[in-house]
Structure 1
Amino acid sequence: MSTTIERQARLSLHAFDYANVTLADGHWKRQRDYVVELYLSLDDEDILKSALRGTDVHTQAHGLPGWGGTCGQMLASFAKLHAVTGDFRLRVKAIDLFERWAELVDENPELLRLGTYDYEKMLGGLLDMDEFMGCGRVKDYISRLTDQAVDTFDRGIPRDGLQDAGMKGQIEWYTLPENLYRAYERYGDEKYRNYADEWRYDYLWDKLRAHDSKIGARHAYSHVNALSSLARAYEVDGDERDLDVLRIAYDELLANHTYATGGYGPGENLFVDRDGYMGFMLMSPWDLAGEDPTFVNFAGERVARSDAWGSCEVSCCSWAVFKFCNYMLRFTGEAKYGVWAERVLLNCVGGQPDIKPNGELLYYSNYFADGGIKSTVDRRLQREGQNFQWQCCSGTFPQDVAEYANMLYYSDGSALYVSQYLPSSVECSIDGRRVRVENFSDWPRDNVARFRVAPDIPGVFALRFRVPDWADGHNVVRINGRVVDVQATPNTWLNLEREWCSGDVVELDFPRRLRFVPVDRRNRNLVALMYGPVVLVSSEMTMLVGDRDHPESWIIPVEGESMVFRTLPGHTGALDFVCRTFEPYYLYPEDRWYFMYHRIYRDDAEEKDVTRGANMG
């Protein structure tokens, strides 16, 4: 067992824990502002109704429509949104909601008897209220909830993570340790640590440690979320073998199990035992040329791929990535762990349309080769007739938007680190002096990121900026308009250590280029088009014919438009006069078809004849 001091010493970087960072006006702040106002408008009794499911406790409230049980996630959202915005209404909302729940629990102790899923969410929400709002009264309820869980949960279930009957309804049990370790770190009670240890997911950790990719299909979001449980185990115990597994997992997932957006989990599946499964899950049956159109899913069932199960469970998947990357940045201090977070921030959750007042939201992002659409209408129905309203994603999306400001900056006490580039400002202490740094660029619309530095007194200190993985061209750094001779290598920290004065301006010019990203190694001619960190989509289905290594030679910027491009004639199949236009997915409107993944072929006579024939039918 390690002490708090030892645990802190293991951290290379420190996050700002939802404090001292302000989002500036722009796309991501507008998303967050909308969520705050919508969620404040919800009736407390309606929110609480989901915590009464399966009990004999009744209130006069109708509850929120849909099938979700999001009370714990709502507490977490209100607590973190209050911390990051300072909006006192959110604090009042969280406390009122908790006090009413506590009143019902005191009258009806059976409400403490939760399943694994709801327990983990409630535990996290209560811990967030204590950690980010100073609401110490939750401590007793955390203890009572956990005592009930210890008495209730069946420890004898198989521990291979397969979501079948053998799990006995204890879904996502492998996510339990994260918040149990948090409770141990906060309160020092060994019962939390001991119970967390009991739910270690050694089946998966051993597979990853051995670089064994034959894991079998597993539930996608919750398995990436489970990595946060191992991260907390490392934070508590300091076992370097656990950190090794986390490193392996990050590299494996980013290389082989994510789309260009950073999204993952087609049909909510990860590690599907099928070569090229990422591409397979985007194709319609008529594209498979006689291949088996079925696969074994995360429940161990052989099923057919279905468009009703999309390409990425976007809100939940984004939340799992944000947490995982935050742990890895803090543990290692390595810039590469900002890559996945950037992709998801810009192209996944950043592309979410607003949640509707009735609780409908974009459950899945769709990347299908035959097109997708941003729609908050889900075509599935629960067994008891509930629609997809106010479900799990409505509990993670507000936590996503709370995280926007929390993922931008880090510190090690002697330097400020900039990991993401959303317009924002931060106030911090560096080597004992107060410093304010403002990002006043319109990222990612602007190609140049601009920062204004304002220390309370002039002095020497370091600012370190993450050089994105895609910034592999001639990167230019300017301070007060003058070019600085400094190394700016992708996936490293650009180090600017000098005497800083109030009003100094840093400009980071990371030239972007167009590039095609194949969906996987087996389906290399199924590609998405990116411009720097931004995924582009077309409003029309298309076949692409051209030099895949040099798309800039035949896909050109549209004059007067930001990040909008158009093919030259003769690069879309049989019709030489047809052009296709590409624009950022994250800005693409709701309820309009788009096409993200396209077939691409070489621009030579033989292959062009084949593709034109195919295109003509």
Structure 2
Amino acid sequence: MSFHSFTRRDVLKGGAAASVGLALGGRAMADLLPGAGAGARLKQLEYGQVTLLPGPMRTQFEQTQARFLGLDNDMLLKPFRQGAGLDAPGDDMGGWYSNSRFWATNGGAEGFVAGHSFGQYVSALSRGYAATGDRATKVKVEQLVAGLQPTLVSKFYDGYHLPGYTFDKTFCGLSDACYLAGVKSAEPAMKVALDAALPHLPEKALSRMEQHARPHKIDGDTWDETYTLPENLFLAYQRTGDVKYRDTAVRFLEDDLLFNPLAEDINVLPGEHAYSHVNALSSAMQAYLTTGSEKHLRAATNGFRIVQDQSYATGGWGPGESLLRPHTDDLARSLFSERNSFETPCGAYGHFKITRYLLRVTGDSRYGDSMERVLYNTVLGVKPIQEDGSSFYYSDYSMNGRKLYYANKWPCCSGTLPQMAADYGISSYFASDAGLHVNLFVPSQVTWKQGGVPVTLVQETEYPFRQTTKMTLKLTAEREFVLNLRIPAWAGPGTRVLVNGKSVDGEVKPGTFYAVKRGWRNGDVMEMEFGMPVRVETLSMNVNQHSSTEPGKMLASENTTEFAALMSGPVVYMATGHWPTEMTRSSLMAAKKVEGGDAYSVETGGAPVLFKPFMGIGDEMYRTYQTLKLG
């Protein structure tokens, strides 16, 4: 057991924690309330307003829904029943999910957070029901909520390693079950779940460093993520009006060590756990959307910019699950030191949430650019979850990358992948009083009301592997409104918008939404053609690092090695088969599209190298970044 000297922020503990924590929440709430009710420029649509049409996103959604619909209820509920001291029939799921002591001997997470992802599975199914109206899905959610209710007791968390981590997911599942799947019994269960968890939570959000400084039995007990709690608590307040959820959310905003400095554009992220801290930025956004706190909006905006400044060409970040120092060669060095380059389903889920919030608030199309880059280069290329819980976890951007299943069954990414897939529809379109914003170019159908008239837009596309998308409108009466189309920042010459076969007037400016305002009629067709020139995005590494004034800081010199990712549109194309040690920038820029396929061929002086998108790579080895020859 470790001990420490108390700091002024550590005095709140023990029996006084609850009362002092409530006082802290009261003061913070008073600070936040001015300007409460902050709005967003864009509105999120309901899940049922968007239908995914056949394509890779729908396939992934259907696969993940089917996987969790097919799991035995007793097996899912077993760790909760065991923790509550109830009869617990059914088989163990194994891996992270089951009660086990195996984690203590193998250094992994086997049994370390039993039942941790239950709430995410319930959340994903609830979102799936909201999107499809499938009756069997609702029945499954009803059964799981009914089975969970008797286990919502404080005893479950006695000796539990990460109570905040698992409570957050369980609470999210109950909230979504009630308000997306219509399982009304979940609403009182939310209150019981919070009351059961609160005695096991600290008086405030604790960083991992603060947790490590307090007495603890094992190092793993310092990994809890209480700083992610506010997002779902704020959402529960919006859904119920219960001020206890709001006040508890404020209590766990990590202002002192995270949001206050980020709001002042002070980078405190290097070395922090990547996914959970990006996830925490969504709590800052919910603080803004709920209370109007401009400080938290600044914190989220600055924090996400810092993450983007240390991202791979794929949009992924967090090698070894850690955030790095931006504007250094740390990211390039990770190509040689890490195979665990991006915690993909989890990271993509957190990335989509924060970009969705920021896009809604700011209307800035570049958040949509960032979202689609992560979509096509990471999460749509993951291996599907297997019946035994084998799950994809890390994208590998090393010099010899491979797609592999994670060693432990039912890890955290098994929970975020189905949530992610269920959110594809609400990430694709946004509404405003003036009309609709088209954010993602995916096979889909969206319905909304404009001036009291139902309008349906059907989008047909093979984007990003084809350069066009077609949108057809269906409405019973002519209505004037605006269709805002995201023009990606990478869009090249030749990008244009056509209505009923004729090019529309005005500049189609990359990095903006292009507004088409007119009186729309039934059967009107809008098309977009994208210029997708081949380009490269590079990372640099100082091979003589001791010459730097700071560790990792780049100095331009002959000792700098460059690595290039081949791109077209939002897609990174990765070398497969046999590739040379080095390539030239000119050879990459001269890449030729393989006729009839979704790959590029690059001439290197020997045999041509085939470059594939992450979605098109199976078990073969691949390389994301190519070392560039000097000169």
Report the secondary structure of 1:19's partner residue: helix
In the TM superposition, what is the alpha-carbon distance from 1:326 to its structure 2 partner?
A: 1.3
Query: Do residues 233 (structure 1) and 283 (structure 2) align?
Result: no
Corresponding residue number in structure 1 for 2:112: none
Aligned counterpart for 1:480 among listed residues 488, 494, 500: 500
Aligned counterpart for 2:146 among listed residues 82, 85, 99: 99
Query: Do residues 567 (structure 1) and 602 (structure 2) align?
Result: yes
Corresponding residue number in structure 2 for 1:224: 278
Query: Do residues 45 (structure 1) and 45 (structure 2) align?
Result: no
Corresponding residue number in structure 2 for 1:152: 200
Aligned counterpart for 1:491 among listed residues 503, 511, 516: 511
In the TM superposition, what is the alpha-carbon distance from 1:208 to its structure 2 partner?
A: 2.0
In the TM superposition, what is the alpha-carbon distance from 1:420 to its structure 2 partner?
A: 0.5
Q: Per-residue CA shift, 1:473-502, capped at 9, x if unaligned? A: 331111111122222212211111112111
CA distance in 2, matches of 1:524, 1:508: 39
Query: Do residues 311 (structure 1) and 341 (structure 2) align?
Result: yes
- Which structure 2 residue ranges, 5 or more long, are not aligned? 1-28, 98-115, 542-553, 555-559
Corresponding residue number in structure 2 for 1:261: 314
User: For residues 196 and 57 of structure 1, do their structure 2 counterparts lie closer, same or farther at Cα, with a shift above 3 Å needed?
Assistant: same
CA distance in 2, matches of 1:412, 1:481: 26
Q: Per-residue CA shift, 1:154-204, capped at 9, x if unaligned? A: 227854666746495361110011111122222222222222212121212
Report the secondary structure of 2:585's partner residue: coil
Query: What's the % identity of the aligned pairs?
Result: 30
User: For residues 271 and 161 of structure 1, do their structure 2 counterparts lie closer, same or farther at Cα, with a shift above 3 Å needed?
Assistant: farther
CA distance in 2, matches of 1:250, 1:468: 19
Query: Do residues 348 (structure 1) and 378 (structure 2) align?
Result: yes
CA distance in 1, matches of 2:52, 2:481: 24
User: For residues 567 and 459 of structure 1, do their structure 2 counterparts lie closer, same or farther at Cα, with a shift above 3 Å needed?
Assistant: same
For the 8 Å contact 1:488–1:494, the answer to whether it is kept is yes
Q: Per-residue CA shift, 1:503-529, capped at 9, x if unaligned? A: 111111111011111236847611211
Matched to 2:227, the amino acid is Y
For the 8 Å contact 1:325–1:341, the answer to whether it is kept is yes
CA distance in 2, matches of 1:147, 1:461: 47
User: For residues 365 and 389 of structure 1, do their structure 2 counterparts lie closer, same or farther at Cα, with a shift above 3 Å needed?
Assistant: same
CA distance in 1, matches of 2:352, 2:585: 35
User: For residues 451 and 53 of structure 1, do their structure 2 counterparts lie closer, same or farther at Cα, with a shift above 3 Å needed?
Assistant: same
User: For residues 8 and 110 of structure 1, do their structure 2 counterparts lie closer, same or farther at Cα, with a shift above 3 Å needed?
Assistant: same
Corresponding residue number in structure 2 for 1:330: 360
User: For residues 544 and 313 of structure 1, do their structure 2 counterparts lie closer, same or farther at Cα, with a shift above 3 Å needed?
Assistant: same
Query: Do residues 597 (structure 1) and 617 (structure 2) align?
Result: no
In the TM superposition, what is the alpha-carbon distance from 1:314 to its structure 2 partner?
A: 0.5
CA distance in 2, matches of 1:445, 1:513: 12
Report the secondary structure of 1:582's partner residue: strand
Report the secondary structure of 1:519's partner residue: strand
In the TM superposition, what is the alpha-carbon distance from 1:251 to its structure 2 partner?
A: 1.9
For the 8 Å contact 2:319–2:338, the answer to whether it is kept is no
CA distance in 1, matches of 2:57, 2:512: 25
User: For residues 224 and 544 of structure 1, do their structure 2 counterparts lie closer, same or farther at Cα, with a shift above 3 Å needed?
Assistant: same
For the 8 Å contact 1:538–1:583, the answer to whether it is kept is yes
User: For residues 191 and 104 of structure 1, do their structure 2 counterparts lie closer, same or farther at Cα, with a shift above 3 Å needed?
Assistant: closer
Corresponding residue number in structure 2 for 1:437: 457
Corresponding residue number in structure 2 for 1:583: 612
CA distance in 2, matches of 1:279, 1:9: 40
CA distance in 2, matches of 1:167, 1:222: 22
CA distance in 1, matches of 2:283, 2:204: 20
Matched to 1:583, the amino acid is K
For the 8 Å contact 2:37–2:290, the answer to whether it is kept is no
Query: Do residues 556 (structure 1) and 592 (structure 2) align?
Result: yes
For the 8 Å contact 2:230–2:252, the answer to whether it is kept is yes
Q: Per-residue CA shift, 1:540-566, capped at 9, x if unaligned? A: 343443335x843x322223323x211
Matched to 1:528, the amino acid is A
Query: Do residues 470 (structure 1) and 471 (structure 2) align?
Result: no
Q: Give matches, 1:159-174, under 5 Å.
A: 159=207, 164=212, 166=214, 168=216, 169=221, 171-174=224-227
In the TM superposition, what is the alpha-carbon distance from 1:273 to its structure 2 partner?
A: 8.9
In the TM superposition, what is the alpha-carbon distance from 1:331 to its structure 2 partner?
A: 1.5
Aligned counterpart for 2:117 among listed residues 67, 70, 87: 70
Which stretch shifts more, 351-360 or 51-60? 51-60
For the 8 Å contact 2:228–2:276, the answer to whether it is kept is yes
For the 8 Å contact 1:163–1:219, the answer to whether it is kept is no
Corresponding residue number in structure 2 for 1:528: 565
CA distance in 1, matches of 2:166, 2:76: 14
For the 8 Å contact 2:36–2:293, the answer to whether it is kept is no
Corresponding residue number in structure 2 for 1:85: 132
Matched to 2:562, the amino acid is N
CA distance in 1, matches of 2:522, 2:284: 42
Corresponding residue number in structure 1 for 2:167: 119
User: For residues 139 and 224 of structure 1, do their structure 2 counterparts lie closer, same or farther at Cα, with a shift above 3 Å needed?
Assistant: same
Aligned counterpart for 1:182 among listed residues 228, 235, 243: 235
For the 8 Å contact 1:409–1:418, the answer to whether it is kept is yes
In the TM superposition, what is the alpha-carbon distance from 1:226 to its structure 2 partner?
A: 0.3
TM-score (norm 1): 0.85
- Which structure 1 residue ranges, 5 or more long, are not aligned? 284-304, 379-387, 605-617
Matched to 1:80, the amino acid is R
In the TM superposition, what is the alpha-carbon distance from 1:146 to its structure 2 partner?
A: 1.5
For the 8 Å contact 2:205–2:253, the answer to whether it is kept is no
Corresponding residue number in structure 1 for 2:584: 546
CA distance in 1, matches of 2:348, 2:620: 23
CA distance in 2, matches of 1:396, 1:537: 25
For the 8 Å contact 2:457–2:472, the answer to whether it is kept is yes
CA distance in 1, matches of 2:344, 2:533: 26
CA distance in 2, matches of 1:337, 1:424: 20
Q: Per-residue CA shift, 1:232-285, capped at 9, x if unaligned? A: 11111101222122221222211x2211111111111113599322111111xx
Q: Per-residue CA shift, 1:6-39, capped at 9, x if unaligned? A: 8666121111131211111011111111112221
Query: Do residues 129 (structure 1) and 183 (structure 2) align?
Result: no
For the 8 Å contact 2:428–2:441, the answer to whether it is kept is yes
TM-score (norm 2): 0.83
CA distance in 1, matches of 2:566, 2:620: 19
Aligned counterpart for 1:278 among listed residues 324, 327, 331: 331
Report how many aligned residue pairs link the two structures: 556
CA distance in 2, matches of 1:119, 1:273: 33
User: For residues 97 and 277 of structure 1, do their structure 2 counterparts lie closer, same or farther at Cα, with a shift above 3 Å needed?
Assistant: same
Which stretch shifts more, 232-241 or 537-546? 537-546
